[in-house]
Structure 1
Amino acid sequence: MLEEVERWLARRSWSVADRPLDRLLSAKQDTTVSVVLPALNEEATVGGIVDVIRRELMSDTVPLVDELVVVDSGSTDRTAEAAARAGARVVHRDGILPRVPAVPGKGEVLWRSLLATTGDIVCFVDADLREFSPGFVSGIVGPLLTDPEVQFVKAVYDRPLGDTPGQGGRVTELVARPLLNLHWPRLAGFVQPLGGEYAARRSLLERLPFPVGYGVELGLLVDALHTVGLDALAQVDVGVRLHRHQDGQALGRMAAAIYRTAQLRLSRGHLVRPVLTQFDRAEGGFVPRTHTVDTEERPPMGDIPEYAARAGRRNTGAA
């Protein structure tokens, strides 16, 4: 298994510098690219990300990205206004597929975004990134444009925690990486399995179920492996990722959702309780706080009638 991972790393692990923009534009031809930013209370950063993408990747001279959509999942600040002012098309989560009541969670937003976009390639980018580089998009879109065998690409980067390099991926190192190495060792070569920046062919994404919460990244990666095989998966080093870090309790809830996502894929016969108890110190001692763990998953978007009808209209050339 180690030899297979090493071969994969040699064949399917690249740097953003390996594919210059002029090469991507030459390879793009009729392929369309959509970029999706899932956003919840990201007023401080979302506009800057949108501005960089529009200026660097949607100009007349570099028309790499065809569609830029921010999906707001219920922000209470001015996230939607900041995104729209910077030039993004803003769609509210609840306005997509309204017959299915929305539930909280990042995966829910990503799943619904397939109905709000049209690109042959869909690129997801978290909306809390600081010092954003266009390489986060061009890097992970690149292999999909230049290699027809590649179907799913994750970004690789350093994740500092404050001034400490390499310590930002705490849930990755404590939960996701051990799970993948123990149960899906063919995925052991992914440096950032939980990273929020990845791109895939729509034809693959519409076949995959989407965990509604924090387990979405691990779920999509594992399901992509089983659907198209390891050689269709890749990763690209895009540098350094600076973003807002969660507190310890939020990371605990994230870890529980990721474990639950893995468990559902390992066995449907025996499932642990889908709740997590954490503790806060109060005047009289420690007080338990119990949270539900994300357990719901959305079916493959290709199974949704509204999506199938839209795809049918597109294939027949109807407006």
Structure 2
Amino acid sequence: MSGPAPAGGSGQLPEDVRDWFARRTWQPVPWSASELFDAKRGRTVSVVLPALNEEETVAGVVGAVLAAGPLVDEVVVMDGGCTDRTAERAVAAGAKVVALSEVLPGLEPLPGKGEVLWRSLAATSGDLVVFVDADLVEVGPEVVVGLLGPLLTEPGVQLVKGFYRRPLRLDSVEQRSGGGRVTELMARPLLARFAPQLSGVVQPLGGEYAARRDLLTRLPFAGGYGVEVALLMDTVQLAGLDAIGQVDLGVRKHRNRDLADLGVMASEILAVVLDRAGVDPAPLPVELVQFAESSPTEAASGWHPQVRHVERAGRAPIGSVLPDHGGPRS
């Protein structure tokens, strides 16, 4: 474990954030799968892969998770409405696939990633739950080993975020960095303003993280892409900053989204942070107006408005909605 990098510019991290970073940041991953298996002491681990049409990558991610060996007790791919061969390829790779309609069938699903993660708590049984996005490429078992390390070796840690260098792929060219655009342009400035105690978190929006089930069942799950930053803010509110740790997972490569999709994502994150900070001035959902230019082959030339729906519907803690799914498991 090492301390923070030297501050750039003329400022530096606040003392409390600097102290947290030094104690709760591990870089690189210092544990092996065998060491952590010995530290499990009867606890069980569920790995959840939320997926929506990830047939090209899901098998590789499942294989990387299973390569952690007996450290992992179950691998569940949560099918968020796939229309391709994601489910087939996940099963062939060794995962269990669960569709949203199969979980809590009496409850109508809400749209968005947050709903998929929330329902995964009712579809899994592990004392520790690891979330890994299904669109990763060039991933290995260190993603699971790294995320579980603090939970199995540091009693005070309840939620662990992964962080990484994020290349940006543009057509056939890969830039060394530049991914995580919504993090830098939206999430980080918002946290600096409304939750500065989280300013030491390297990847607040990253989809690779792990937590104790008894924490997750007490947290509300925001809808859409605001779920990750909401879990961070709610964990600080419930258990304090020291309950959060972060681990360097190396490089994260995944499918980069287009700018219009990132606009919707940023809108959802804006709404969630303002809501958690108690300063949201307007109710949601809202309609986000974006503009696209006609292609040369289209009859109507010029720029045209396109309206995108921005949703923020979320869920109360699953432990309060369905008590059988809450609390620690022995």
TM-score normalised according to structure 1 size: 0.93
Tell me which residue corresponds to 1:300. 317
Following superposition of structure 1 onto structure 2, how do residues 43-122 of structure 1 map, counting pairs within 5 Å?
43-54=55-66, 56-58=67-69, 63-122=70-129
| Residue of structure 2 aligned with 1:37, choices 49, 52, 60 | 49
Tell me which residue corresponds to 2:23. 11
Contact 1:37 1:71 in 2 (8 A): yes
**Are 2:14 and 1:2 equivalent residues in the alignment?**
yes
| Residue of structure 2 aligned with 1:141, choices 142, 148, 160 | 148
Cα distance per residue 1:200-241 (max 9 Å; x no partner)? 000000011111201101111111111110011010001000
Tell me which residue corresponds to 2:180. 169
CA distance in 2, matches of 1:228, 1:297: 21
CA distance in 2, matches of 1:275, 1:148: 44
- TM-superposed deviation, 1:266: 1.8
Contact 2:158 2:243 in 1 (8 A): yes
Following superposition of structure 1 onto structure 2, how do residues 127-276 of structure 1 map, counting pairs within 5 Å?
127-162=134-169, 163-267=174-278, 270-271=281-282, 274-276=286-288
Tell me which residue corresponds to 2:302. 285
Greater shift after overlay, 280-289 or 95-104? Answer: 280-289
Cα distance per residue 1:42-97 (max 9 Å; x no partner)? 0001011112222x223xxxx10011100001111000000001110100012111
Cα distance per residue 1:82-136 (max 9 Å; x no partner)? 0001110100012111111112211110000000000010000000000111111
Cα distance per residue 1:18-64 (max 9 Å; x no partner)? 2222321221111111000000000001011112222x223xxxx10
- TM-superposed deviation, 1:6: 0.7
Cα 1:5–1:311 shift into 2, 3 Å: closer
SS of residue matched to 1:99? coil
CA distance in 1, matches of 2:275, 2:243: 23
CA distance in 1, matches of 2:324, 2:117: 20
- TM-superposed deviation, 1:311: 5.5
Structure 1, unaligned runs of 5 or more: none
SS of residue matched to 2:188? helix
Contact 2:113 2:227 in 1 (8 A): yes
CA distance in 2, matches of 1:284, 1:267: 43
RMSD in angstroms over aligned alpha carbons? 1.7
Cα distance per residue 1:261-298 (max 9 Å; x no partner)? 11111226632652211111232422211122121011
Identity of aligned residues (%): 52
- TM-superposed deviation, 1:251: 0.3
> Aligned residue pairs: how many?
308
